[in-house]
Each structure stands twice: as structure tokens, then as C-alpha cells.
Amino acid sequence: MPQNFVIYSDSLSALQALQSKNFKVIDIKRLHNLIRKFPPYVHISFVWIPAHVGIQGSENVDKLAKGALNRALGYLLKNEERPFCYACDSLYIVRHILIECLYFQDTRRKYFSVTDLYKLF
């Protein structure tokens, strides 16, 4: 029952650090340690996608990711109040979006099928 996953990234330096086991950046070490915990039948491939070269899907994902990050954390940079979820008026935090909010429930089931952050990551 092999399971294969592909993770696409436009961060060549992050992928190179992961491959070389260059753990100067703590997030690279955490990711490497997490991957090592997967069972042997889980295979993860990393693929570099160059950024800003006109690959439409990559450009769209980049815009969506930047928008989501700005909505979730932009208030810190702007010294504003923490935002609230537009769907249910709860605090707009990662846990709420990925686990709690009923508005995103169908999307979560479709793509993740998990009920807690530990299983998700």
C-alpha cells in the first residue's frame, strides 16, 4: 500500500538545504525530522518550480498563498487588531481555519481528512 506524495516549491534554497541536511534553519531541521517519522511505505518527492517565470498555476498559487498569509498575519506588521473569520466571526487563526471553522469543513474533508493539527502536519 505505497503512498506517494509530491510537494512543489519555488524555494530552491530550502529544497537544497533539505537535500544536503543543512540544518542552519530550524524549520528545515523540523521538516526533515517530521519526514523521517513517516512509515516506510510513504514516499515524498520534492520538486522545484521556478517562481515568476510565467507558469500560470505557480503564479496563481503564489498569489493565493501571499493573500492567505497577509490575511492571517498581516495585522502583526500593521500593528492592528487580530482579524476575525469572515464566515463565523471567530478569531482568524491557523487552528480555526484548518480544524474548527464549519465554513471550511467540506474543503478540509476533501483535501485533508484529518481532525487535529498534529495529524495534519
- Decide if pLDDT at 94 tops 80: no
Answer yes or no: is pLDDT of 117 > 80.
no
Residue 53: pLDDT band (50, 70, 90) is: confident
**Position 121 pLDDT exceeds 70:** no
- Strand 42-48 to 3-9 pairing: parallel
| CB distance 95 to 117 below 8 Å | yes
Q: Is residue 59 predicted with pLDDT exceeding 60? A: yes
Of 117, 77, 76, nearest to 97 (Cα)?
117
DSSP states of 73-108:
HHHHHHT-PPPB-TTT-SB--HHIIIII-GGGHHHH
Q: Is 23 helix (H, G, I), strand (E, B) or coil?
A: coil
What percent of the chain clears pLDDT 90, i.e. is strictly above it?
A: 0
User: Given this model, what pLDDT does residue 54 score?
Assistant: 77
pTM of the model: 0.52
Helices 12-20, 26-36: axis angle to 10 degrees equals: 60
Whether 81 shows a pLDDT value over 80: the answer reads: yes
Domain boundaries, the chain: 1-49, 51-80, 84-121
Mean pLDDT of the chain: 79
**How large is the average pLDDT for residues 47-65?**
78
